[in-house]
Amino acid sequence: MAKKYLEKNVLEATIDRLEIMFQNFDNIYFSVSGGKDSSVMVQLANRVAKRMNKKFDVLFIDLEAQYRYTIEHVEELKQLSQIRDFYHITLPIALRNAVSVLQPKWICWEEESKHLWVRNMPEDSINIQNCPFDWFKKGEEFEEFIVQFASWYQEKYQGKVGCGIGIRTDESLNRFRTIAFQDKKITFEGYNWTTKLKVNEKHIDVYNFYPIYDWTAEDIWGAVSRLDLKFNYIYELMYKNGLSIYEQRLCQPYGDDQRNGLDQFKALEYDTWSKVLNRVNRCKFWKYLL
C-alpha cells in the first residue's frame, strides 16, 4: 500500500516521493520547462540525489519563442551537480498557432524559417543536424515527441524508468482526476502519484511520477524562499506588471489561451516581443486585438 501523507507537509511528502523513486529506479529523468514548478521539482531532486549518491537526466524541449530569462534559468539548471545528461531539444516540432486560421500550426526551429527565429539555436542542443532519434520526423506534435522520447530512453537504458513531471493538480480538475485516482491506471506499487506510460495502447516500463502534484502556488514560492532556490526572473517581472502568482504562465505564446498573454512579451521583454510578432503568420494583426 502507498504511504499516506496526512501528517506531513507537501515538502516533506515530496522528499519522500523522490527518495522512493531513487531507491527503486536506476534511470530517472525529469521533464523541465524553465517554469517555476518543474524548476522547484528538479532542484529538490538534485538535493535528494546528492544525498543518496544518485544521478539523473533532464529533458528540456526548447520551443524557440520563449522569454530570454527562461533560457537563462535553464542554463542555471544545467549546472545542477547530479545531472548526468541534459537533453536540450531544439528540433522542428509542430505547435498550435491560435492567432491565425491560415496557419493553424507553426514549427519551431524550422530550418526554412531560420531568418525568423526568435533566438539563435544553443550550441549544445540536440537539433536536426545531430539528432540521435531515428524515429523523429519534422513536424511531430509535442505530445507525440515526449512519448516517443520516453520509449527511446527506456530502450537505451533498459529496466524500469522514472520520468518526473512537475505539474500541480490545483491548476486543473482533469489533472487531479488523472493523478489522484487509481481505478483506470497502473501505478508503481500503488502510489497514486505515479502512472505507467502507454505507447500505442501498450504499456511500457516507464512510470511518470508527479512529486509536487499536491502543491499550491504558495508552496512553490515558499520553497524558493525558504530553501533559497534559483528561479526564473521573468516571474518577478510578471508580478511587477500586475500578474498574481496564480495567473503567471510560461508556455509557447501562440496557443489558444497563451495568445491572450502576447502583450506580456511587450511589457517584459520588448526585444523578444518584436521577434515573436514576426515569427508566425498573422501575429502582427493579432496584436491589434489585444
End-to-end CA distance of the chain: 51
- Could you tell me the fold of the domain covering 10-289? Rossmann fold (3.40.50)
Q: pLDDT tens track of the chain, all 290 residues?
A: 344 455 789 999 999 999 999 999 999 999 999 999 999 999 999 999 999 999 999 999 999 988 899 999 999 999 999 999 999 999 999 998 877 677 788 899 999 999 999 999 999 999 999 999 999 999 999 999 999 999 999 999 999 999 999 999 886 666 666 666 656 789 999 999 999 998 888 899 999 999 999 999 999 999 999 999 999 999 898 888 887 887 777 766 776 555 556 667 777 887 887 788 888 765 554 444 34
Q: What is the pTM of this model?
A: 0.90
Return the C-alpha cell found at 102. 491560415
pLDDT of residue 225: 96
pLDDT of residue 38: 97
Return the C-alpha cell found at 166. 512537475
Return the C-alpha cell found at 222. 515558499
Residue 45 contacts residue 30 (beta carbons within 8 Å): yes
So where are the chain's domains? 10-289
